[in-house]
Amino acid sequence: MKTISIKGIDKPVSALVQGSDYFNPDVYEKVCTVLDRYLAIGGNTIDTAHVYGSGKSELAIGQWLKERNNREEVIILTKGAHHDEHGPRVNSEAISKDLHESLERLGTDYVDLYALHRDDEAVPVSDIIDALNSHIKAGRIKAIGVSNWSVQRLQEANEYAESNGLVGFTFNSPNLSLAKANEPFWPGCVSADAAYCDWHQENQIPLLSWSSQARGFFTGRFSSEDKSNDDIVRVFYSDENWERLQRAEKLAQEKGVTAIQIALAYVLNQPFPTCALIGAQNEEELLSCLEGSNLSLTPDEINWLENV
């Protein structure tokens, strides 16, 4: 499987990152099947978060890591400081609390990649970088990143880190997909638009995309007449995205693949390092993702697919 490098960790990161928002000790047999197959096709990076399943995702992964005794072979990406019912909680105390709880659930003394799940622009970036660096120095985190931040805040944080001899953010995890979002899937979520991607191209900071396949928009399950999925309708239904779907289907036919594989290849053929977070739940879906990850698209094909 193709890989990228992320500053701060010494292992290559697989282009496909296995998502785990549905992981739970109650479906542990399924968790094991998915993760074992994922490693068998060359994957090595698992995405989770403090809030997934109220901690059950991390617990299931921790159990699997312990039973397989393979912690050093696997890259763990977890996220913390998500908002709660009281509002934003992107601060030193919340980061420390969530990180320690995540480490305990995962059964490890460090995470390879640690991301802030949300932003709170009322908090100075200096406070956030200082807090995260204290955990890097303590050996609890190898590399830090963000999810759902503006590139302006990300740039500001990295400029502060550089000017003060600290570790800055070396990866970013917004949504990036061929289907462009009409509005955030969840409040406060960020999708990469053209200007956002231009910043990544200029800075060459790796982007790890969530909902990289637009939550199944390119599978053929949806049509303009089918309004049964309120969230998909709200976020992805647009004349432009139907055109992008048609173009993906046309290119897929020419290449002998599927439209969903073209959509995945779109994410993985950007002019900056990218990975795609996938939600594969069986071997068929994993193999489809693997085939899609190996596709090469030219800049002209990328431009034709997205610019309708």
Residue 28 CB partners (closer than 8 Å, separation 6+):
60, 63, 64
Identify the three-state secondary structure at position 78: strand
Encoded tokens for 298: 């030219």
Q: What is the pLDDT along the chain (308 residues), one digit of tens a residue?
A: 999 999 999 999 999 999 999 999 999 999 999 999 999 999 999 999 999 999 999 999 999 999 999 999 999 999 999 999 999 999 999 999 999 999 999 999 999 999 999 999 999 999 999 999 999 999 999 999 999 999 999 999 999 999 999 999 999 999 999 999 999 988 889 999 999 999 999 999 999 999 999 999 999 999 999 999 999 999 999 999 999 999 999 999 999 999 999 999 999 999 999 999 999 999 999 999 999 999 999 999 999 999 99
Tokens 């303009």 locate to 224
List the beta bridge partners of residue 249.
none
The pair of three-digit structure tokens given for residue 110, joined into one six-digit string: 């460090």
Q: How far is residue 210's CA from residue 177's CA, in Å, rounded to a whole number?
A: 9
79 contacts 114 by C-beta, under 8 angstroms: yes
Helices (H), 26-122: 28-40, 56-68, 92-106
Q: What is the spatial distance between Cα 85 and Cα 88, in angstroms, rounded to a whole number? A: 9
* Cα first-last separation, the chain: 31
CA geometry: angle at 76 spanning 116 and 235, to 5°? 50
Burial (CB < 10 A; 0-12, 13-18, 19+), residue 87, is exposed
Amino acid code (one letter) for 282 = N
User: Each residue of 278-290: b (16+ CB within 10 Å) or e?
Assistant: bbbeeeeebebbb
Within a 10 A sphere around the Cβ of 36, how many other Cβ atoms? 11
Supply the pTM of this predicted model: 0.96
CA angle 276, 282, 286 (to 5 degrees): 35
The rounded distance, in Å, linking the Cα atoms of 282 and 259 is 19
Angle at 207 between CA 62 and CA 203, to 5 degrees: 135
